[in-house]
Structure 1
Amino acid sequence: MALEDEQDANTLQWEVSVTLSSNQPVIGSEIFTTETKLVNSYHTIGSLPPPPHSFVYTWYRHSIPCSVHHHKLATVQCTSCDKLNASIEKSYHCSSKCFSDAWNKHKKYHHWAAHAARNNSTGNQQDVKKLRSSGSWPNLIDGSVLDENAIMVEEDNIWIKNTLNSNLKAQSSNDVVFSVLTYNILADSLSINALGYCPKWALAWEYRQENLLEEIIKYDADILCLQEVQCDHFENFFEPELKILGYSVMYKKKTGAGLFTAESEKSTNHGCATFYHSKLFKEIMKYELEFDKEASSVVNALEPKIRFKGSHRLTSKDNVALVVVLESLQNGSNRDAFQSRICVANTHIHWSKGHEDVTLFQVAHLVNGLEKIAQSQQIPLIICGDFNSRPGRYVFCYWQSGSH
């Protein structure tokens, strides 16, 4: 900061250096700087009041951390990143060896930055991929699910028993090799009450979003399944950032935001997002499952005396699942269609204390529908998501043995 005396022909200048003595990141923190506070700070330097003056100030980092070893200071910067207008935070390294060791991963940033620059310069943004018509969810209203021996009422719980067929055989996808990442990223609208042990600055979305993106990029997965993706963050951050990296995207938000919900609340609603590399896969069919709607048909099939209780427990939940059938494009050609296809499901299952029967119902309903999709096309199946279950609990046992 520099203070200049406007009355003296020989202008006097003072420079004041201010250090933030905190390990807390600047991102997510508020810094208030006003002329009054600066004048008061100046006044404490001498005995005379400050003369009429003007001031200028600039905030900057005195030391820059290495993008790989965050506890070390950077001494080397990649000049290519600067030329490509890439994120400079990723261009700093603590030593030449650090830069050399990280080169194979780091050079990917150059490709992404160049790709983004070409799109911006030509004005040819990636076309928004129009999703194919969503297929209807396989009908589960049949004797295998709703016979009188499959439903049990126990106090305040409604249990769906033995609904997992467990007859899917191991299937090959013609030696197609790919990687899958599933991640509940914690919606910002839920973070305040979710992690009471975590400092507020670490939960700030401005701080978390870049760390999340950096971690996701490092895994370099061919298929990404993210849960608790807030609507506005999907549209303004994840979708554009991951499209630049060559991902095709699809999104299904929870059904909690209704017609009379405020727009601000709709934007902070969250859901499931699935991304896949467009050079490796193309979309064949997409299914969207809303558990509350699917539960309505199940409740209607219950006996009248338990129908109200079943409706209260099963149809008031807004959880969803996003299912896509992908076809491999590896080796640059479409091989036998069914041998190169795979079904990928992404979901976030309900949980609340005393409602484990609802959690189990949603998982069982999802699996039964997925089995029908996989069997009808004879394709492998991958199920990703947050199932809100721990080892030894009903849902976990259901995955293991086909019953609870």
Structure 2
Amino acid sequence: MEQATIQCLGCVKSKIPVAKSYHCSAKCFSDAWQHHKVLHERASSSLNENGAEEEELFGRFGSGGSGVLSTSGSGSMSNFGQSPGVNNGPVPLYPSGTDKNSGETWFEVGHSRTYTPTTDDIGHALKFECVAVDAEKKAQVGTPTSIMTSRVIPAPTPTPRRLIQVNGDVIGHLDLDSQTSALGTFTVLSYNILADASATGEAYSYCPTWALSWTYRRQNLLREIIGYHADIICLQEVQLNHFEDFFAPELDKHGYQALYKKRTIEVYSGNPLAIDGCATFFRKDKFSHVKKYEVEFNKAAQSLTDAIIPAAQKRVALSRLIKDNIALIAVLEAKFGNHGTENPGKRQLLCVANTHINVHQDLKDVKLWEVHTLLKGLEKIAVSADIPMLVCGDFNSTPGSTPHGLLAVGKVDQLHPDLAIDPLGILRPLSKLNHQLPLVSAYSSFARMVGVGYDLDHQRRRMDPTTNEPLFTNCTRDFTGTVDYIFYTADLLTVESLLELLDEESLRKDTALPSPEWSSDHIALLAEFRCKPRIRR
């Protein structure tokens, strides 16, 4: 965290909490202004509408009391209170009071210190009622005090992203319910959704607090994910409790079967339920589950140190290698038929790997070792089954790095400067750093597109011509670059179309990601594939 060097005088005059008025530099303040000025507007609104200042209200209700949030409705909306807000506390099925002056009926929608409005609240005012409680006597002290909001408005929704054929022709908007894969093709989505435990105000101070709350983000993420209509979904940074309580049941409603692998916890010291992992979903009408493999890099590290590290150095070696990272590998069987192949009656299997290589940038040797370990495991599956493969995830590796080179080229440049960092000797000999999978990055197809046109030109501008990868898949105030990929085996699969890339300038209007529109610091990647016919030998 950087030292604060500048304070906003507008915050001082508006009596906004001091912690929110400081910034590390003039540039930091300028970058955050789009969201920071909202604090001023809220303070002014709070003073004008409620007759009290925002700081005083937070101070009054911040501790030592209980709160009840209600929503108003007219007589025709008498059943409104029967729709409970998700995770906003228990909601009774009866009105909590009627205003004698307006005739409006108030329904209790939450009973907790915080509340995030739901879609059911749109168009209604919210009233927060707080009363001080004597903790020892467990009795109310004094009379309740309340504040009321203006009418709830819909949350901002991002512009739908289009699916674009690799020849440059636009297929259509993915938010349309009619959007489905072409006959014999399937779509794959890869998305790091940003775990709630990591979505802190300290890390993303430019994003409004309400837009960082999980109750808001999860609905926004679900709406986005469902809108892509992907046949296979690979998510990273999915907390265990959120998988079990939200994503698995919600995506089940849309016809998806779920697989999950949480990260290991040898290093992790937080809440076990908040540990994140990788979740893979597939449409039950298009695929059936054949087999699941779980890769724990901690176990691989243990085996590696047992084999090559002297006993005296083993403890130091494990502290460097063990990062709790995992990979989830699923073998699926297609139900849509082996269209276009020479063996239409043969089973069409597909292997999908989903991983998050979360390793500190200084540990380049560990990152490369994990990617190499995953690829050697996939090699064994490919040899035994001879099936198409997809390798999806957040690799925390930019184009030009050794992990990216290993994935995209099948080997590592032995003169790469990253290879100089190998204190444990786990990368030696360098000649072993290869694999035989014919992997290609799906989004490199944009760079190979031919022809002219408005959409093609825009996609080319969002690609790096030197690496044939997107200019970015992760966009925060401190870092913008590509770390997420969908790789495929080009001998058995071909790319039909890709989800269009986003424009950095348009995202920067909200400073960076996440934002009220986009609820992760990463963008989703999606590719449509077709199985190639097998060549008879």
Q: Under TM normalisation by the shorter chain, which class is it?
A: 0.5 to 0.7
Give the structure 1 partner of residue 233 of structure 2: 224
Give the distance between the partners of 1:62 and 1:322, measured in 2 at CA: 41
Give the distance between the partners of 1:65 and 1:195, measured in 2 at CA: 19
Give the structure 1 partner of residue 359 of structure 2: 351
Give the distance between the partners of 1:287 and 1:396, measured in 2 at CA: 23
Query: Please, which of 32, 40, 45 is the counterpart of residue 128 of structure 2?
Result: 32
1:130-167 CA-to-partner distances (Å, cap 9, x unmatched) read xxxxxxxxxxxxxxxxxxxxxxxxxxxxxxxxxxxxxx
* Helix, strand or coil at the partner of 2:290: strand
Query: Please, which of 395, 398, 410 is the counterpart of residue 390 of structure 1?
Result: 398
Give the structure 1 partner of residue 330 of structure 2: 324
Query: Please, which of 206, 222, 235 is the counterpart of residue 213 of structure 1?
Result: 222
State the one-letter code of the partner of 2:198. Answer: L
* Helix, strand or coil at the partner of 1:345: strand
Give the structure 2 partner of residue 165 of structure 1: none
Question: Alpha-carbon deviation of 1:198?
Answer: 2.3
* Helix, strand or coil at the partner of 2:308: coil
Question: Alpha-carbon deviation of 1:395?
Answer: 1.4
State the one-letter code of the partner of 2:219. Answer: E
1:194-250 CA-to-partner distances (Å, cap 9, x unmatched) read 434323221111111111001101110000000000111111110011001000101
Question: Alpha-carbon deviation of 1:371?
Answer: 1.1
Give the structure 1 partner of residue 520 of structure 2: none
Asked if structure 2 preserves the Cα contact closer than 8 Å seen for 1:182 and 1:384, the reply is: yes
Question: Alpha-carbon deviation of 1:344?
Answer: 0.2
- 1:257–1:246 Cα change, 3 Å: farther
Give the structure 1 partner of residue 378 of structure 2: 370
Normalising by structure 2, what TM-score? 0.44
Give the structure 2 partner of residue 271 of structure 1: 277
Q: How does 1:97-246 map to 2 (within 5 A)?
A: 105=176, 176-192=184-200, 193-246=202-255
Question: Alpha-carbon deviation of 1:14?
Answer: 4.1
State the one-letter code of the partner of 2:280. Answer: T
The structure where helix makes up a greater share of residues is 1
Question: Alpha-carbon deviation of 1:302?
Answer: 0.8
Give the structure 1 partner of residue 291 of structure 2: 285
Question: Alpha-carbon deviation of 1:303?
Answer: 4.3
Give the distance between the partners of 2:407 and 2:307, measured in 1 at CA: 25
Give the distance between the partners of 1:330 and 1:251, measured in 2 at CA: 24
- 1:285–1:203 Cα change, 3 Å: same
Give the structure 1 partner of residue 318 of structure 2: 311
Give the distance between the partners of 2:222 and 2:287, measured in 1 at CA: 22
- 1:195–1:249 Cα change, 3 Å: same
Give the structure 2 partner of residue 61 of structure 1: 151
Asked if structure 1 preserves the Cα contact closer than 8 Å seen for 2:129 and 2:147, the reply is: no
Unpaired runs of 5+ residues, structure 2, are: 1-71, 74-98, 105-115, 120-125, 133-142, 161-171, 414-537
Give the structure 2 partner of residue 256 of structure 1: 265
State the one-letter code of the partner of 1:294. Answer: A
* Helix, strand or coil at the partner of 2:372: helix
Asked if structure 2 preserves the Cα contact closer than 8 Å seen for 1:349 and 1:387, the reply is: yes
Asked if structure 1 preserves the Cα contact closer than 8 Å seen for 2:117 and 2:152, the reply is: no
Asked if structure 1 preserves the Cα contact closer than 8 Å seen for 2:338 and 2:346, the reply is: no
Asked if structure 1 preserves the Cα contact closer than 8 Å seen for 2:175 and 2:227, the reply is: no
- 1:68–1:199 Cα change, 3 Å: closer
1:69-88 CA-to-partner distances (Å, cap 9, x unmatched) read 89xxxxxxxxxxxxxxxxxx
* Helix, strand or coil at the partner of 2:176: helix
State the one-letter code of the partner of 1:299. Answer: T
* Helix, strand or coil at the partner of 1:179: strand
- 1:308–1:232 Cα change, 3 Å: closer
State the one-letter code of the partner of 1:244. Answer: K
The structure where strand makes up a greater share of residues is 2
State the one-letter code of the partner of 2:407. Answer: W
Give the distance between the partners of 2:239 and 2:274, measured in 1 at CA: 6
- 1:59–1:349 Cα change, 3 Å: same
- 1:62–1:293 Cα change, 3 Å: closer
- 1:312–1:55 Cα change, 3 Å: closer
Asked if structure 1 preserves the Cα contact closer than 8 Å seen for 2:323 and 2:359, the reply is: no
Asked if structure 1 preserves the Cα contact closer than 8 Å seen for 2:239 and 2:273, the reply is: yes
Unpaired runs of 5+ residues, structure 1, are: 3-11, 18-24, 37-52, 71-100, 109-174
Give the structure 1 partner of residue 389 of structure 2: 381
State the one-letter code of the partner of 1:325. Answer: V
Asked if structure 2 preserves the Cα contact closer than 8 Å seen for 1:322 and 1:345, the reply is: yes
Give the distance between the partners of 1:57 and 1:190, measured in 2 at CA: 31
Calculate the aligned-residue CA RMSD, in Å.
4.2
State the one-letter code of the partner of 1:328. Answer: A
Give the distance between the partners of 1:216 and 1:179, measured in 2 at CA: 12
- 1:68–1:343 Cα change, 3 Å: closer
Asked if structure 2 preserves the Cα contact closer than 8 Å seen for 1:227 and 1:271, the reply is: yes
* Helix, strand or coil at the partner of 1:366: helix
Give the distance between the partners of 1:261 and 1:187, measured in 2 at CA: 16
Asked if structure 1 preserves the Cα contact closer than 8 Å seen for 2:130 and 2:145, the reply is: no
* Helix, strand or coil at the partner of 1:195: coil
Give the distance between the partners of 1:65 and 1:186, measured in 2 at CA: 19
- 1:361–1:196 Cα change, 3 Å: farther
Question: Alpha-carbon deviation of 1:34?
Answer: 4.5
Asked if structure 1 preserves the Cα contact closer than 8 Å seen for 2:175 and 2:228, the reply is: no
Asked if structure 2 preserves the Cα contact closer than 8 Å seen for 1:176 and 1:328, the reply is: no
Asked if structure 1 preserves the Cα contact closer than 8 Å seen for 2:357 and 2:396, the reply is: yes
Give the distance between the partners of 1:324 and 1:13, measured in 2 at CA: 61
Give the structure 2 partner of residue 300 of structure 1: 306
* Helix, strand or coil at the partner of 1:385: strand
Question: Alpha-carbon deviation of 1:176?
Answer: 3.9
Normalising by structure 1, what TM-score? 0.58
